[in-house]
């Protein structure tokens, strides 16, 4: 297994790379005037619209409370938006947008830490995620199921340790879940769910920061990772990537489970994002800053 450490001091969040991602040919462009705060999550719908969530009050100069849509030329709000911070986004194959975070209302509708936008209106997902919890990761499979990960002990009023499934009408746990928070989710072409976070067990079995759910049971990835996993993704060739946490607050660990790894990062700071502190993710273990 090839392991690489990449260090970032700033990352362009609301820009678009126009060109083939595996080459240096291309340019960065802004998305209008961007947003006036912090972007923590991005998602595309099947029609090519981009959704941005985080902590902000305007997008492209238009009032937009913590969530907004970019259609390629302009920003629009999603009704009255989300009352508090958005941390995760996912779109299903029908174009519905799911929003997770730590909030109590969406579009004025009571919604505990998770909500759905169907293009015109907000709805809750039952009683949602535990009131004092947080939804940090979302993923949709092709069968219309939604998976939510974060730091919580109940979903829909039932026991669900840090991860749960919404089938469109009800919440269900994934076995006994994880012992600590889930920060990232990804689904492969066979419908298997991958979870990363700060946990050491999945379904009661040892699993260091990363695990796989095949629909009925959890399995580990050998020795797993040496620290928390904050991001997961697959490329078109089926290669699996994991990025995460280390003792240094600005380190991203990238692990490749199959062949080669290509990383591209834009390091110039942008005026649309003001980051005043190195915020530790909710549910992260205490660590010491390396010098």
| Cβ(242)–Cβ(252) below 8 Å | no
Find the radius of gyration of the CA atoms of the chain: 18
Domain boundaries, the chain: 2-256
Q: Which pTM does this prediction carry?
A: 0.80
The whole-number pLDDT of residue 14 equals: 53
Say how far apart CA 222 and CA 242 lie, in whole Å: 15
What pLDDT, on the 0 to 100 scale, is given for residue 245?
Answer: 74
Instruction: Take residue 15 and report the two structure tokens written for it.
Output: 């820009």
Burial (CB count <10 Å: 0-12, 13-18, 19+), residue 247:
exposed
d(CA 258, CA 120): 42
Over the chain (291 residues), the average pLDDT of each successive run of 10 is: 30 46 71 96 96 98 98 97 98 97 98 98 98 96 96 98 98 98 96 97 97 97 92 92 66 31 27 32 41 35
Place of tokens 């991958």: 194
| pLDDT score recorded for residue 24 | 58
CATH topology of domain 2-256: Neuraminidase (2.120.10)
pLDDT digits (tens, 9 = 90+) for 9-50: 233 345 555 445 445 567 899 999 999 999 999 999 999 999
- Joined together, the tokens standing for residue 288 give 């010491």
- pLDDT for 36: 96
Cβ–Cβ contacts within 10 Å for residue 265, how many? 11
Q: Which helix (H) or strand (E) holds 89?
A: strand 86-91
Of 95, 119, 97, 124, residue with least CA distance to 108: 124
225 closest CA partner among 205, 243, 248: 243
Q: For residues 254 and 246, what is the distance between their CA atoms, to the nearest angstrom?
A: 11
Query: Which residue carries 């409370």 as its tokens?
Result: 65
What pLDDT, in 10s, does the model give residues 181-191? 999 999 999 99
- How far is residue 257's CA from residue 234's CA, in Å, rounded to a whole number? 10
CA 120 – CA 275 distance, rounded (Å): 32
Structure tokens at 110: 């009571």
CA-closest candidate to residue 70, choices 124, 31, 26: 31
DSSP structure class, residue 162: S
- Coil/strand/helix, residue 5: strand
């Amino acid at each position: 297994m090839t392991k690489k450490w990449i260090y970032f001091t700033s990352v362009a969040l609301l820009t678009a790379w126009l060109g083939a991602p595996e080459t240096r040919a291309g340019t960065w462009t802004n998305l209008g005037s961007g947003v006036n705060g912090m972007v923590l999550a991005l998602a595309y719908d099947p029609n090519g619209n981009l959704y941005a969530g985080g902590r902000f009050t305007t997008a492209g100069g238009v009032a937009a409370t913590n969530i907004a849509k970019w259609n390629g030329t302009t920003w629009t709000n999603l009704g009255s938006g989300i009352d508090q911070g958005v941390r995760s986004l996912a779109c299903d194959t029908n174009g519905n947008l799911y929003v997770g975070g730590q909030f109590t209302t969406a579009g004025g509708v009571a919604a505990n830490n998770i909500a759905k936008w169907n293009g015109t209106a907000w709805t809750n997902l039952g009683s949602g995620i535990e009131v004092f919890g947080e939804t940090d990761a979302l993923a949709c499979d092709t069968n219309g199921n939604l998976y939510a990960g974060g730091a919580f002990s109940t979903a829909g009023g039932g026991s669900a340790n840090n991860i749960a499934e919404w089938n469109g009408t009800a919440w269900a746990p994934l076995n006994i879940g994880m012992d600590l928070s889930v920060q990232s989710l990804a689904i492969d072409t066979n419908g298997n769910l991958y979870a990363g976070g700060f946990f050491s067990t999945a379904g009661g079995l040892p699993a260091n920061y990363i695990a796989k759910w095949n629909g009925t049971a959890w399995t580990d990835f050998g020795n797993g990772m040496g620290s928390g996993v904050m991001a997961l993704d697959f490329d078109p060739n089926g290669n699996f990537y994991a990025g995460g946490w280390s003792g240094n607050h600005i380190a991203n660990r990238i692990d490749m489970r199959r062949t080669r790894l290509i990383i591209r990062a834009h390091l110039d700071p942008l005026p649309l994002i003001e980051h005043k502190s190195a915020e530790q993710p909710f549910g992260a273990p205490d660590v010491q800053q390396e010098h």
